[in-house]
């Protein structure tokens, strides 16, 4: 990614990580447009000039943060579904993990969605990247007969759309939900279909 200078030392990594964490907090509290680089550096406990050692702009920092969220979500889901072989179980556990992450790290969700207003290309890149990776699993499921035939891109966006709005209702609006039961209900509906024949 251009505009970023990744740290080369342990101290540099600590400072870089403090800036990224502070940026996430400030973008959540004040929005992208409301948060300033000064807000970020003060929250990170470093001088203003330190920001520019690592990032050439606030937008570059925001884009980096957004990509880190994408990696974190995929990595966390991948770790939790490791060893599972049935596509239904993979989808159910994956949804539950996503909902838990939304519930436990709400600023992540806000920043992802705000990217549509900050830079529509970032928003598009975020979801198309997720879709492309999702399609690989969908194709594998279709090959084994566990997922119905159909356009894997459309299926990926259906599943992402369901996950996002279930996340809004059951992980943002309320923190008291049984996310395992919610995930099971969603997957059961996908399994049986919405419309009666």
1 has pLDDT over 80: no
pLDDT digits (tens, 9 = 90+) for 9-42: 999 999 999 999 999 999 999 999 999 999 999 9
Contacts (Cβ under 8 Å, ≥6 apart) of 9? none
CA-CA distance, 14 to 16, in Å (whole number)?
Answer: 5
pLDDT digits (tens, 9 = 90+) for 118-127: 999 999 999 9
Helical residues (DSSP H) of the chain, grouped into ranges: 10-34, 37-44, 48-54, 58-81, 87-104, 106-118, 120-143, 152-167, 179-192
C-beta of residue 173 within 8 angstroms of C-beta of residue 102: no
pLDDT digits (tens, 9 = 90+) for 65-94: 999 999 999 999 999 999 999 999 999 999
Q: What's the chain's average pLDDT?
A: 95
CA-CA distance, 42 to 107, in Å (whole number)?
Answer: 19
CA-CA distance, 78 to 197, in Å (whole number)?
Answer: 35
Structural domains of the chain in order of their starting residue, each with its CATH number: 10-56 (1.10.10.60), 68-192 (1.10.357.10)
2 has pLDDT over 90: no
C-beta of residue 173 within 8 angstroms of C-beta of residue 99: no
pLDDT for residue 92 = 97
Residue 5 three-state SS: coil
C-beta of residue 182 within 8 angstroms of C-beta of residue 99: yes
What dihedral angle (degrees, nearest 10) is formed by the CA atoms of 167, 168, 170, 171?
70
């Amino acid at each position: 990614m251009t505009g970023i200078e990744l740290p080369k030392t342990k101290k540099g990594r600590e400072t870089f990580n403090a800036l990224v964490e502070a940026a996430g907090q400030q973008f959540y509290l004040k929005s992208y447009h409301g948060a300033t680089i000064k807000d970020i550096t003060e929250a990170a406990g470093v001088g203003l000039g330190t920001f520019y050692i690592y990032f050439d702009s606030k937008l570059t920092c925001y884009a980096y943060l957004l990509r880190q969220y994408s990696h974190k979500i995929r990595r966390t889901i991948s770790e939790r579904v490791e060893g599972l072989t049935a596509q239904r179980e993979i989808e159910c556990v994956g949804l539950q993990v996503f909902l838990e992450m939304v519930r436990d790290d709400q600023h992540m969700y806000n920043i992802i969605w705000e990217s549509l207003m900050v830079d529509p290309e970032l928003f598009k890149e975020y979801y198309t990247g997720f879709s492309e990776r999702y399609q690989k699993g969908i194709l594998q499921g279709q090959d084994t007969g566990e997922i119905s035939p159909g356009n894997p891109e459309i299926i990926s966006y259906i599943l992402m759309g369901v996950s996002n709005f279930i996340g809004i209702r059951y992980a943002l609006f309320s923190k008291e939900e049984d996310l395992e039961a919610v995930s099971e209900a969603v997957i059961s509906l996908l399994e049986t279909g919405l419309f009666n024949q």
